[in-house]
A and B are shown apart, each in its own frame.
Chain A
Amino acid sequence: MNIDTAGYGTLIVIVIMAIVTLATRWGGVFVMSFVPINYRVQQFITAMSGSVLVAVLAPLAVKGDNGARLALLTTAIVMLTLKKPLPAIAAGILAAALVRQF
């Protein structure tokens, strides 16, 4: 099925995207309201919350250019030493920018 992007078509496409995205924003909360929160579920949730980020970042580090890799490495090192996110992010971006100038 295709939707013409002329006239109201674009609006319909955008509304479809919005509904699908809203379903993802609400779906997890809705499903969890049927799950009793015991210790095992809490452990699942805690482990998953870090894992979401790691799963986003892993391909970024592997498929990225050297600028991307050095940015992530720099951010990790500065974060481990200073424990402050803003300097860590700034250092990471600076690293990427420097690598890409040459």
Chain B
Amino acid sequence: MSNVEPHLHELKLTHIYDGFKQLIPLALFVIVFGVAFGLAAAQTGLSDTSAVLMSTLVFAGASQFAALDLWGQQVPVVPLMITVFAINARHLLMGATLYPWLRELPVAKRYGVMLVVSDANWAMAMQAFSRGKPGLGLLFGGGIALWVAWILGSWLGLHFGSAIEDPVSFGLDMVMGCFLLAMVVGGKKNLRMFIIWTVAACSSLLAYWYLPANSHVVVGALAGGILGALWMEKQQ
């Protein structure tokens, strides 16, 4: 990524449609997570409208599950905001990593595309960029596929969730983890990257054990990033 090539930020309808199609297989699994959320929301006592509205407007699974943990007759606002922010703070880093390409877009498009950023479509987009291919279609089109799947799954979970027996025993809870790992392993690998990842992993674990809840992703990512900035690759 030593120079941003001119065509990589292209975002035409065909790119968006391609991105949408490429993330459909993963979106099918996102439906399953959505079902789990819908079921949990129903058990927590959210109305159908509220649960579907939350998935539509928030579209961030882990933070929505965490919100259910805080749910009751009353919801404590400040702890809720802190929890949601901490879990979703990785979006800040994702936005920053996408900026070299996003800055080529007009402001409205730039922020419009970011509406649907999430782990999977971001990882696919970054991988495309690192291979010298346009990635914003994956980000936006893929994001729409995941968003629709998340809403649909949530709705299905509210109505038919109890029909699914124990998704964990089928390994379905590991879909996202395996996907993200495949993205890491499929990326650029050399000794420098490996050491950076090791530092990121160790920092994340230390934060996980010793720092406030949900801080580990940001701590690990920043540790890896700072090491990368201090120990730069030789410029070609």
Contact = CB atoms under 8 A, between A and B. Distances in A.
Interface string A29-58: 111110101011111111111111111111
B50 interface: yes
Contact of A21 (B59, B75, B98, B119): B59
B74 A3 contact: yes
Contacts of B96: 28-29, 31-32, 45, 48
Interface stretch (B13-21, B77-85, B149-157): B77-85
21 contacts: A5-B71, A10-B47, A17-B63, A22-B115, A24-B89, A25-B117, A27-B95, A28-B96, A35-B99, A43-B233, A45-B225, A46-B130, A51-B196, A52-B93, A52-B220, A55-B219, A57-B201, A59-B204, A72-B181, A76-B185, A89-B178
B148 interface: no
B171 A17 contact: no
A93 B219 contact: no
A59 B222 CA distance: 16
Nearest to A45: B97
Contacts, number: 293
A39 B57 CA distance: 36
B224 A50 contact: yes
B221 A55 contact: yes
B111 A20 contact: no
B224 A85 contact: no
What interface size band does chain B fall in?
Answer: 35 or more
Contacts of A16: 77, 80-81
A39 B181 contact: no
Contact of A50 (B67, B89, B187, B216): B187
Contact of A97 (B102, B114, B119, B170): B170
Given A43-B233, A50-B196, A92-B178, A21 B117 contact: no
Question: Which 3 pairs across A and B sit closest by C-beta, in order of nearness?
Answer: A47-B228, A51-B224, A55-B220
B93 A79 contact: no
Nearest to A31: B96
